[in-house]
Amino acid sequence: MFMKYQRSSQLFKQAKSVIPGGVNSPVRAFKAVGGTPIFVRNAQGAYLYDEDGNRFIDFINSWGPMILGHAFKPVVDALIEKAKKGTSFGMPTEIETKIAELVVSMVPSIDKIRFVNSGTEACMSAVRLARGFSAKEKIVKFKGCYHGHSDSFLIQAGSGAVTFGSPSSPGVTEGTAKDTLLAPYNNLEAVNEIFKINQNKIAAVIVEPVAGNMGCIPPNPGFLEGLRDLCNQHNALLIFDEVMTGFRLAKGGVQQLSNVSADIVCFGKVIGGGLPVGAFASREEIMSYLAPDGPIYQAGTLSGNPLAMSAGYTLLSALNSDDGVYNRLAKKTEYLHKGISKALNTSKIEHTINRVGSMISVHFSNIPVTDFETATNANNNRFKHFFHSMLDSGIYIPPSAFESWFITDALSYDDLNFTISAISNISWDI
């Protein structure tokens, strides 16, 4: 299939004259894979349509939120009705309480939730809350885990930071960096050693309970349980960054799947139904430290925006009322996994595939990918060829080897078979 991107190329050139790099989030620039980024005109269900009229089967789904497909009618209808009544007030609205009650009912271990505008803001606020509650300053994060672009987290971050070859960003001060302690993902011994060296100094451990920013990387058996035990032993808080995994892998997220309770949970993506929403939540004891009840300040003019709350409430309600949705998503992802593996094996291409629920990633490596190091050692040149071969077949996957794919329930098995067939037909003479 020959795809033309003339209009996208023109728009990218125009954008670069007024937007840094021509994009508002770096991974969109195709730096990791080369070529011209695709400018989307519209989307429906499982498909994207670009400005040149090309159709693509979508495997990023806005990096996770479109779990039931693009332009999901109940969400669109809810947005239209809410917009007619006003788009922002900077005052409390009933819909904020309704979505808060719904989330608290769905997610284990939380009593209260504070809504913000992005996953970055949620994680940043969660760490401030943990530090204020514990009266300690240091945090532990994991190499390759990405918790947004707040200064504390841009120390060996994954995703876009890896794509651009600068795991630590200029502009992050040494003072900030010294309070972020790094451990390899899936390595409990390293975390234990960090706690020993920093006795009574660590406020929290923050982790993606299923990593999604070095590709999809599941936690090893016992890893999350071990983090919980270490935090208990050292009087530190455990923060689950479920910006990607919350409401995507289960109604109650990874806490429900793993039966491991976090002290603070961060949300984004699905919780906003496609609009900019983040949130952080915890038990009453911790959340009472937030202003206006407590001394830890956090605020936002657009936090709890009625459009965003309406979209999130509608999507979460649909997920909560559908007992089969997560099983359908997992089965489709498993089907895709088996098909891709068979196609690549037939072509004698070394690979490993990671999958949890409706998150999946393909790594061109002959060893298991379990952490940042093994993810970065995969064959990125082969991934570039894979990406463009898929794109030219009308299939849009993440334009970086360090991103998870996200499956939507709108995908049909015909879409999956088409994708598998396209992979079978890739010429690997590179």
DSSP class of residue 271?
Answer: G
* Omega within 30 of 0 (cis) for the link into 221: no
Specify the 3-state DSSP secondary structure of 83: helix
Count of CB atoms within 10 A of residue 380's CB?
16
User: Could you tell me how far CA 36 lies from the centroid of its own chain?
Assistant: 24
Catalytic residue (one of 141, 269, 332, 384): 269
Relative to beta strand 202-207, strand 138-142 is parallel
Catalytic residue (one of 50, 58, 179, 241): 241
CA 360 – CA 416 distance, rounded (Å): 13
Written as one string, the DSSP assignment of 316-355 is HHHHHH-TTHHHHHHHHHHHHHHHHHHHHHHTT---EEEE
Rg from Cα positions in the chain: 21
**249 closest CA partner among 47, 64, 59, 46:** 64
* Catalytic residue check, 241: yes
**303 closest CA partner among 338, 278, 322:** 278
Count of CB atoms within 10 A of residue 196's CB?
9
Residues 6+ apart with CB under 8 A from 238: 204, 205, 207, 227, 228, 231, 262, 263, 264
* Catalytic residue check, 396: no
Residue keyed to tokens 């990791």 = 32
**284 closest CA partner among 176, 171, 133:** 133
Structure tokens of 296?
A: 């830890």
Max intra-chain CA distance, the chain: 63
* Catalytic residue check, 342: no
DSSP class of residue 24?
Answer: S
Catalytic residue (one of 146, 313, 326, 396): 146
- Asked if 205 and 139 touch (Cβ cutoff 8 Å), the reply is yes
- Asked if 47 and 70 touch (Cβ cutoff 8 Å), the reply is yes
356 beta partners: 359
CA 98 – CA 310 distance, rounded (Å): 9
Q: Which residues are catalytic?
A: 146, 241, 269
